[in-house]
């Protein structure tokens, strides 16, 4: 699925619009998990979360590559992107394990939904004001 989404992000609407809309969808899906719903619907929600994770990973890699091509120190940007991704993958589960005892499982899902929504607003706001920020959006 990643190559298909990668090709779509190269299209007319650009990467940011796909990134922002996927963040909103992921936020909505994470917010639904704690509710008492049927097992089949729950599995569909989890499948949707996996799909949004694939899209977000693909588009974030492409965004990092776009920014790196505009700068003289391309290797630095890609190295920082790799370190941040690996650090998040390593520390995320550990931090969530400790946060679970404080906020509970439901609180963790709603917190994830809130963080994803905040990220979508952060990425959407500059896109709305100036469609040429970092040259990432095509006119």
How do residues 34-44 score in pLDDT, each as one tens digit? 999 999 999 99
Instruction: Supply the pLDDT for residue 128.
Output: 55
Instruction: Supply the pLDDT for residue 138.
Output: 43
Which one is predicted more confidently, 13 or 116? 116
For residue 117, give its domain range: 2-135
Q: Is the CB of residue 103 less than 8 Å from the CB of residue 95?
A: no
Number of domains into which the chain is organized: 1
The rounded mean pLDDT for the chain is 82
Q: How far apart are CA 99 and CA 108, in angstroms?
A: 8
pLDDT tier, 12 (very low <50, low <70, confident <90, very high otherwise)? very low
Long-range contacts formed by 1-6: CB under 8 A, 24+ apart: 1/51, 1/54, 1/55, 2/54, 2/57, 2/58, 5/54, 5/55, 5/58, 5/59, 6/58, 6/59, 6/62
pTM over 0.85: no
């Amino acid at each position: 699925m990643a190559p298909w989404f990668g090709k779509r992000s190269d299209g007319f609407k650009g990467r940011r619009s796909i990134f922002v809309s996927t963040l909103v969808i992921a936020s909505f899906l994470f917010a639904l998990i704690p509710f008492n719903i049927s097992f089949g619907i729950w599995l569909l929600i989890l499948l949707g979360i996996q799909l949004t994770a694939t899209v977000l990973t693909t588009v974030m890699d492409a965004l990092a590559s776009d920014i790196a091509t505009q700068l003289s120190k391309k290797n630095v940007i890609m190295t920082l992107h790799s370190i941040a991704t690996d650090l998040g993958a390593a520390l995320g589960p550990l931090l969530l394990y400790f946060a679970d005892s404080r906020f509970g499982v439901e609180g963790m899902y709603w917190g994830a939904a809130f963080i994803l929504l905040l990220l979508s607003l952060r990425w959407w706001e500059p896109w709305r004001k100036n469609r040429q920020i970092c040259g990432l959006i095509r006119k």
